[in-house]
Amino acid sequence: MRSPLRQTFGPLVLAAIAFLILLWTIGALLENRREAVTQIEASLQDVLAARVAAWESELVFTLDGWGAELATSSAPGLLELKMKQASPPLVAAYVWRTSRVGPALTTEIVWPPIPPSEPEWGNKLCIRQARETLADPMATADDLLRAYDDGCTLEALPVRLAAANEAAHRLAQLGHETEALALLDRTGVAGRPIDDLLKRGVPPRLVYALRLLRADILLTLGDPAAPDVFYAIGDEILGLPPQLQATASLLQYVRYPIQPKLTQVGRGADARELEGRLIEASQRSAGFAEFASTILRRDPTQNPETRFIRDQYDRTDFILYYDAAAGPRTSTVLQLDQTELVKHFMDRTKRHRSHLVVTDAAGTGIAGVPRGGPIAISVPFNKTLTHLRVGLRQAAVDEEVARSDREILIVVAAAVVAGAMLLLAFVALVRANQISAGLLQRQREFTTRVTHELKTPLAGIRVTAENLASVDGADEARIHELAERILVEVDRLTARVDEVLNRTRERKPPDPVVFDAEEIVLVAIDAWGPRLAQAGVRLTADLHATSEVRGDPSAITDAIACLLDNALKYHDPAKANPEVRVTLRQEGLLVNVEVADNGLGVPPDRRTDIFDEYVRIEGPHRGLAGGHGLGLAQVAAIMKQHRGTARCVDGFDGGARFVLSLPALGPAPEAEAGEELLEDEG
């Protein structure tokens, strides 16, 4: 059989190897953390670039579909309105067809309808005559009104409005604001819709010249409605279609005089709101100008690819999606708003949205979160918003690194736990080996002791039998003596065998019953009192009334008998008055049976392990008592079966005291029995 050292060496080597592997794993994980951070940044950049590419592909697919629909639609105006309500919203759509007759290339604009050029009204006779009157410094207000009414009354509406405009201006210059206002109101321009006036051939510049003059006169006269009139004119100008020839120049009216006038009368918020819309309207106008001046003149067959066009040097930056192959001989241009495109991208980017930012080439933020540290990762738009970049702030990288650190910590923690479990297993294995070795040693001692104690009576029986065989048959007294000796040795041998069998066989307790603890203590005292008295040991009992207990009375009696047997075996022959005290009392819900003596006692460091099997305390006068180290182990087993405890503490006068504690079924009775003294009567 292997020695305990050899049994321990193998697990120790395995534990050392596992510990070294654990240290190497932790070191490798920490060493690779910097590389992991670099990989995280590269991975985030790849993810961001893939998101941009996916969004651009999705956008191009949507715009291609819109272009194909517009190219074949019989109602492009309704379709354009529908697309303006989609996502991303459309700013404007332009559709045209091209055809070639020989070398000549002709273009037909399908949408939007292009209005005719503005006519020149200045050569009309009535207007020339009116201007002569207006130039006369001596002309009165009536002269000016007659010049308008008499000269141009029979002319077409645009001519009459042109004459009224010049007459009203002159009247206002001469300080006749009331007459000028009356003249303008007679034209009816203020209340007519712009579309109606355009259909009747009135140039849009003339319409807004009249309306602005009227608003300015109202402001001069202190009319409270003047600011609202200025705002309404600006609102209407910003809604003009970009294909109107005069739209680009009319937009300048919003910046001056409308915005300054609104600011002057305390309507700064309205002025700022018009400024924001003016930028959008200017972008629409610039986009149409690019379409009309450049794209419309290209041969689509020479450049059929789709592409984005923008003017990065203009304050009114526009973005056009040019599809030269939207349909047979049909091309389309879709004008988009940069702000809406960026918003569309942000809305469709869920991952790391809280750290996403869009910047221009200089790194100035266009959209996204303003906080979260510097921009750590940045990728460009490759097809659409090529002048912008998409970035992730440092907080996104920090979050991914923290997540990676948590994963590393989980691995490290798992390794530490595994290592700890391995070490605990090693400790448990070593402990088990030690216990096993100790148990084997005790078993060897037990075997040697039992063999010796069994051989001794056997040898006595053999010697006595041999002597009996040699005795003369007539010597009956000698034969009787030897036979008595044989019976004594047989009894000793039987006692030793019964002790081993009783202590080692598995006890199967019967069904528990309720009994009085005092009764079983008295039974044990009755059985062992005479033996103690015969050995000269004084026995006293202090029995108090207790509650009943539940269990096996026979097993509890055996446990008490074992303690009395040990008190007899290990009494100190050197003491003149050996004594054993049995006490029964209840403390709370515990019934305690104590057997105390003034014998050889139990060393304090052995008072726990004496309840293990095969454990005996060797020493002077102890070996003569016999026994195999099974009695107290059986006592502990009995108490465990009864949910009680057995412990050894100090006795009196150097002896030992064993306490058996059993769960009580109720509180202790108030009455207590008096002390009972049991002594040897001889």
| CATH number of the domain enclosing 224 | 1.25.40
The pLDDT value recorded for residue 444 is: 67
The arithmetic mean of pLDDT across residues 516-531, rounded, is 87
Is residue 135 scored above 60 in pLDDT? yes
pLDDT tens per residue across span 635-680: 888 899 889 999 999 888 888 899 999 999 888 887 544 444 444 4
Which pLDDT score, from 0 to 100, does residue 488 have?
A: 65
- Contact between residue 77 and residue 278 where contact means Cβ atoms under 8 Å apart: no
From residue 342, give the alpha-carbon distance in Å to each of 161, 190, 611: 46, 40, 82
Pick from 273, 299, 325: which residue ends a domain?
A: 299
Between 326 and 248, residue with greater pLDDT:
248
> What does the pLDDT average to over 137-157?
74
pLDDT over threshold 60, residue 5: no
Is 567 among the domain residues? yes
Model pLDDT for residues 76-90, shown as the tens digit of each residue: 889 989 998 988 888
Q: What is the mean pLDDT of the chain?
A: 80
| pLDDT at residue 673 in the model | 43
Q: pLDDT band at 624, cuts 50/70/90?
A: very low
In this structure, is residue 414 part of a structural domain?
Answer: no
553: domain CATH number? 3.30.565.10
Amino acid occupying residue 640: K
Residue 259 belongs to a domain: yes
- Return the higher-pLDDT residue of 127 and 591: 591
Given a cut of 60, whether residue 95 has pLDDT beyond it is yes
| CA–CA separation, 415 and 2 (whole Å) | 32
- Residue where a domain terminates, one of 242, 266, 299: 299
- pLDDT number for residue 53: 93
In a domain, 541, yes or no: yes
Q: Coil, strand or helix: which one is 587?
A: strand
- Domain assignment of residue 389, yes or no: no
Pairwise CA distance, residues 11 & 20, whole Å? 14
Provide the pLDDT for residue 313: 54
Element holding 92 (H helix, E strand): strand 90-101
Structural domain includes residue 101: no
Tell me the average pLDDT across 234-250. 88
**First vs last Cα of the chain: how many Å apart?**
56
Torsion of CA 535, 536, 537, 542, to 10 degrees: 120
For residue 398, is pLDDT > 90? no
Structure tokens at 140: 């009165």
* Non-local CB neighbours of 451 within 8 Å, separated by 6+ positions: none
Q: What pLDDT was estimated at residue 380?
A: 92
- What is the helix (H) or strand (E) element at residue 451, kind and residue range? helix 394-470
Q: How many Cα atoms within 13 Å fall on the side-chain side of residue 321?
A: 26
Whether 135 is in a domain gets the answer yes
Query: Which pLDDT score is estimated for 459?
Result: 61
Please give the structure tokens belonging to residue 643: 């949910």
Exposed, middle or buried by CB within 10 Å (0-12, 13-18, 19+), for 477? exposed
Among left, alpha and beta (phi > 0; psi -120 to 50; other), residue 653 is left
List phi, psi (to 5°) of 357.
-145, 145
Residue 394 burial (C-beta neighbours within 10 Å; 0-12, 13-18, 19+): middle
Q: Is the pLDDT of residue 236 over 90?
A: yes
Higher pLDDT residue, 676 or 99? 99
User: Which pLDDT belongs to residue 682?
Assistant: 34
**Which of 303-317, 393-407, 423-437, 613-627 is predicted least confidently?**
613-627
pLDDT digit string, tens, across residues 333-356: 899 988 888 999 998 888 778 889
Note down the domain range covering 166: 125-299
pLDDT score for 501: 61
As a whole-number percent, the residues of the chain with pLDDT over 70 amount to 75
pLDDT confidence of residue 583 = 94
Count of structural domains, the chain:
2
Mean pLDDT of 580-593: 93
Indicate the residue among 267, 299, 331 that finishes a domain: 299
CA distance 481 to 494: 20
Nearest 10 degrees: Cα torsion 392, 393, 395, 401: 50
When pLDDT is averaged across residues 525-532 and rounded to a whole number, the result is 85
Quick: pLDDT tens for 461-483. 766 676 666 766 667 777 777 77
Task: Identify the pLDDT of residue 581.
Answer: 93
**pLDDT of 629:** 66
pLDDT for 462 equals: 67
Greatest mean pLDDT range, 416-420, 506-510, 530-534: 530-534
- On whether residue 155 sits in a domain, the answer given is yes
| Mean pLDDT, residues 72-78 | 89
Q: Which range is least confidently modeled, 451-455, 540-544, 587-591, 610-614?
A: 451-455
